[in-house]
Chain A
């Protein structure tokens, strides 16, 4: 037990950043192409070392009775003289409970996923490249969670976006993957532009971007005191800034209607989906909301958005997850739905009674384990059945025993069955919604729980039970050690993280500025109700997809609507394409080539014609020149005469 101030690990926490970066550089520049297997080894070892450092950091940090935020290290990156009295931007490491928690999550899951990928991508021509890019993601994500200020957060925010782009498009010869990567990047970029505006706004108004200062009550008051008047309407700068900052989270955590990129992102390799698009990166939006929680709470506007969007997305995505047949898409919609849970939990929290906040962080924690594990299992299933389609699997529980067990744990955890981890975190979220006095949000959450249990059970039953529908493709199904080991290791926290960490989260994962939590009386019936809903969902799924299930195309129009993802993608496509290409770009190009260039060419044309007209005088006929000279002389004479 070490004191955080003197801890070796905390002083050297830059290693969590430097090691993956070094792996990225070494693999990207040297090993990736020439020695892919060495590259994989380097990447795994670097991540493992980073995970060890992160765990040591966590040990030392949580050793204190009330872990206080601390700046572990920082070095200057860019100073901004004459801006709000001179501002220094740096790259630093700001440790507070949620940052340390995320640090551990990222490094541990990243190590396991790296290990898994070494098996999953064996023989892929891009094997070496993958082990350059994935450490790059780990590096960027680490930088994001330890950011002490908004600008560093934004820097790494964009870098994880880049990593996501590059990894979704990992198989860049596959058009669908390329499209998906572009879509993901542009949609998040769209949200990030507003995020950047928000950062600029806050930096200009407050003269600082440090979270500690931005979250201070004085900052909120200063922002609230300056109204923005625009065209007769006025709103507080605080509300505006909060919404703009929240926009970043909106895109990154794929809240409705910006959620469309996440299911498509499943085009990337499964390990990527596992770490980036379920466990860590998509949680960055939730993390940002939690980071700025005091500011958002003071503003109200952003938390209201978080609450409504979160609840809606949770339900909306759960509905879609119920009818998807692509194994990874089911999980993707499930991720969306769970992100909605985390988001609305933050939305219902308030600084005095931060139950929602702690519940949300708790869910981030548990969800990361079981969801990344589920994705890894999905990867094994895909390898085994050579298809992504759940309807083409079935009966795999004998062939893939470890996977089967892990998936069962994961599904039950996600469904919220006691005593698995999901039960505790989901229960905490539902309870917080109820105690915060949001019955409708609570009802939505409950309904989502029911649906969650249903689709996870469906997932499990379709994949592992019944007769094999793989038509012999799964003849060689087996579990690779490199792939089974991480799954097995992840199954432990998926099962146990709940009861193990519940108390600690509720008491210590508090919003900045709060040291002790006074928990309102926990409604004792909430866990029972949640459990009941989950069991009901599972039972319905068992009845529907149990023995004797025969897949058939959905006929029910409501199901078809959900199956077609409520046509949001198509709407986006039409709207964005129409707006950008038809409404703006095409007229702009027309204007440029016709009006601007046209007027230039027209002026050139006029000059040419003038020149041609003058050419008659420059025709090389000397006698005309002479005559012209004479005429000029005579004219001068006449003029002189007239002047007299």
Chain B
């Protein structure tokens, strides 16, 4: 067990723990904070796996953008979830059972496919570091070559624009809206 392993297991525990918290805390704001925690630790995992750029994006965009947005929304809708009652115990149990069964399913699939755990020809860590680096990713993203991602990249940018416009138009206050808050 080397230091990487130790770091990995510690990080994994952190991810799992905050994930469990994120789904089990009833308070929405708390759950959002737990989610933020989980995403942070995932960014750490990405660093461990030499995907530095992904980690950076994770922190900057995901946490800095999305989760903050979630938090804003929670604050905007003001009631912080109090009015939403707790689920019926049977439903909670069912959800647990479902999740466990699903987890079992995933693990079983993993088990069935364990053949991939043959030792692969490991690329050199340096090469990996370069691959996860900004330069390589940038080249790939904007390359028009057959293995490039130029077209998807452009489409995603379009999609983002569309989402932006859509979000604004949906969330916009309609003219003559009398007020806010649930009835």
Are A and B in direct contact (Cβ within 8 Å)? Answer: yes
Please report the C-alpha to C-alpha distance between residue A634 and residue B108 in the assembled complex, in whole angstroms.
11
Let me know if B94 and A634 touch, CB within 8 A.
Answer: no
Please report the C-alpha to C-alpha distance between residue A634 and residue B105 in the assembled complex, in whole angstroms.
7
Contact code string A602-644 (vs B, CB < 8 Å = 1, else 0):
0000000000000000000000000100100110010000000
Please report the C-alpha to C-alpha distance between residue A77 and residue B98 in the assembled complex, in whole angstroms.
84
Contact code string B102-117 (vs A, CB < 8 Å = 1, else 0):
1001001000000000
The A226-259 residues at the B interface (CB cut-off 8 A) are: none
Please report the C-alpha to C-alpha distance between residue A633 and residue B105 in the assembled complex, in whole angstroms.
9
B residues adjacent to A (C-beta < 8 A): 94, 98, 101-102, 105, 108
Let me know if A630 and B94 touch, CB within 8 A.
Answer: no
User: Can you list 12 pairs linking A and B with CB atoms under 8 Å apart?
Assistant: A627-B94, A627-B98, A630-B98, A630-B101, A630-B102, A633-B102, A633-B105, A634-B101, A634-B102, A634-B105, A637-B105, A637-B108
Please report the C-alpha to C-alpha distance between residue A630 and residue B104 in the assembled complex, in whole angstroms.
12
Measured between beta carbons, the chain A residues less than 8 angstroms from B98 are 627, 630
Please report the C-alpha to C-alpha distance between residue A627 and residue B102 in the assembled complex, in whole angstroms.
11
Measured between beta carbons, the chain A residues less than 8 angstroms from B102 are 630, 633-634
Measured between beta carbons, the chain B residues less than 8 angstroms from A630 are 98, 101-102
The 3 closest A-B pairs by CB, nearest first: A630-B98, A637-B105, A634-B101
Measured between beta carbons, the chain A residues less than 8 angstroms from B105 are 633-634, 637
Q: How far is the CB of B157 from chain A (nearest CB, A)?
A: 29
The A350-379 residues at the B interface (CB cut-off 8 A) are: none
9 other contacts beyond A627-B98, A633-B102, A634-B102, with CB at 8 A cut-off? A627-B94, A630-B98, A630-B101, A630-B102, A633-B105, A634-B101, A634-B105, A637-B105, A637-B108
Please report the C-alpha to C-alpha distance between residue A539 and residue B155 in the assembled complex, in whole angstroms.
120
Please report the C-alpha to C-alpha distance between residue A279 and residue B105 in the assembled complex, in whole angstroms.
103
Measured between beta carbons, the chain B residues less than 8 angstroms from A634 are 101-102, 105
Q: How far is the CB of A341 from chain B (nearest CB, A)?
A: 96
Measured between beta carbons, the chain A residues less than 8 angstroms from B101 are 630, 634
Q: How far is the CB of B110 from chain A (nearest CB, A)?
A: 13
For B102, the closest partner residue in chain A by CB is A630
Most buried by B among A627, A630, A633: A630
Please report the C-alpha to C-alpha distance between residue A488 and residue B94 in the assembled complex, in whole angstroms.
112
For A627, the closest partner residue in chain B by CB is B98
Q: How far is the CB of A153 from chain B (nearest CB, A)?
A: 81
Please report the C-alpha to C-alpha distance between residue A323 and residue B161 in the assembled complex, in whole angstroms.
105
Q: How far is the CB of A613 from chain B (nearest CB, A)?
A: 22
Q: How far is the CB of B152 from chain A (nearest CB, A)?
A: 27
Please report the C-alpha to C-alpha distance between residue A330 and residue B115 in the assembled complex, in whole angstroms.
116
Q: How far is the CB of A57 from chain B (nearest CB, A)?
A: 92
Q: How far is the CB of B141 from chain A (nearest CB, A)?
A: 33
Please report the C-alpha to C-alpha distance between residue A630 and residue B94 in the assembled complex, in whole angstroms.
12
Please report the C-alpha to C-alpha distance between residue A634 and residue B98 in the assembled complex, in whole angstroms.
9
Please report the C-alpha to C-alpha distance between residue A633 and residue B108 in the assembled complex, in whole angstroms.
13
Q: How far is the CB of B132 from chain A (nearest CB, A)?
A: 33
For A637, the closest partner residue in chain B by CB is B105
Q: How far is the CB of A50 from chain B (nearest CB, A)?
A: 85
Measured between beta carbons, the chain A residues less than 8 angstroms from B94 are 627
Please report the C-alpha to C-alpha distance between residue A54 and residue B94 in the assembled complex, in whole angstroms.
105
For B105, the closest partner residue in chain A by CB is A637
Q: How far is the CB of B25 from chain A (nearest CB, A)?
A: 18
Please report the C-alpha to C-alpha distance between residue A633 and residue B104 in the assembled complex, in whole angstroms.
12
Please report the C-alpha to C-alpha distance between residue A633 and residue B102 in the assembled complex, in whole angstroms.
8
Please report the C-alpha to C-alpha distance between residue A627 and residue B92 in the assembled complex, in whole angstroms.
12
Q: How far is the CB of A593 from chain B (nearest CB, A)?
A: 49
Please report the C-alpha to C-alpha distance between residue A293 and residue B155 in the assembled complex, in whole angstroms.
95
Please report the C-alpha to C-alpha distance between residue A353 and residue B16 in the assembled complex, in whole angstroms.
124
Q: How far is the CB of B97 from chain A (nearest CB, A)?
A: 10
Please report the C-alpha to C-alpha distance between residue A634 and residue B94 in the assembled complex, in whole angstroms.
14
Please report the C-alpha to C-alpha distance between residue A574 and residue B101 in the assembled complex, in whole angstroms.
81
Please report the C-alpha to C-alpha distance between residue A630 and residue B102 in the assembled complex, in whole angstroms.
7
Please report the C-alpha to C-alpha distance between residue A634 and residue B101 in the assembled complex, in whole angstroms.
8
Q: How far is the CB of A315 from chain B (nearest CB, A)?
A: 95
The A379-423 residues at the B interface (CB cut-off 8 A) are: none
Measured between beta carbons, the chain A residues less than 8 angstroms from B108 are 637
Contact code string A155-168 (vs B, CB < 8 Å = 1, else 0):
00000000000000
Q: How far is the CB of A162 from chain B (nearest CB, A)?
A: 71
Please report the C-alpha to C-alpha distance between residue A380 and residue B108 in the assembled complex, in whole angstroms.
114
Q: How far is the CB of B81 from chain A (nearest CB, A)?
A: 16
Please report the C-alpha to C-alpha distance between residue A637 and residue B94 in the assembled complex, in whole angstroms.
19
Q: How far is the CB of A425 from chain B (nearest CB, A)?
A: 101
Please report the C-alpha to C-alpha distance between residue A630 and residue B105 in the assembled complex, in whole angstroms.
10
Please report the C-alpha to C-alpha distance between residue A627 and residue B108 in the assembled complex, in whole angstroms.
20
For B87, the closest partner residue in chain A by CB is A623
Please report the C-alpha to C-alpha distance between residue A60 and residue B155 in the assembled complex, in whole angstroms.
102
For A636, the closest partner residue in chain B by CB is B105
For B101, the closest partner residue in chain A by CB is A634
Q: How far is the CB of B98 from chain A (nearest CB, A)?
A: 5
Please report the C-alpha to C-alpha distance between residue A627 and residue B90 in the assembled complex, in whole angstroms.
14
Measured between beta carbons, the chain B residues less than 8 angstroms from A633 are 102, 105
Q: How far is the CB of B156 from chain A (nearest CB, A)?
A: 26
Please report the C-alpha to C-alpha distance between residue A226 and residue B69 in the assembled complex, in whole angstroms.
99
For A631, the closest partner residue in chain B by CB is B98
For B109, the closest partner residue in chain A by CB is A637
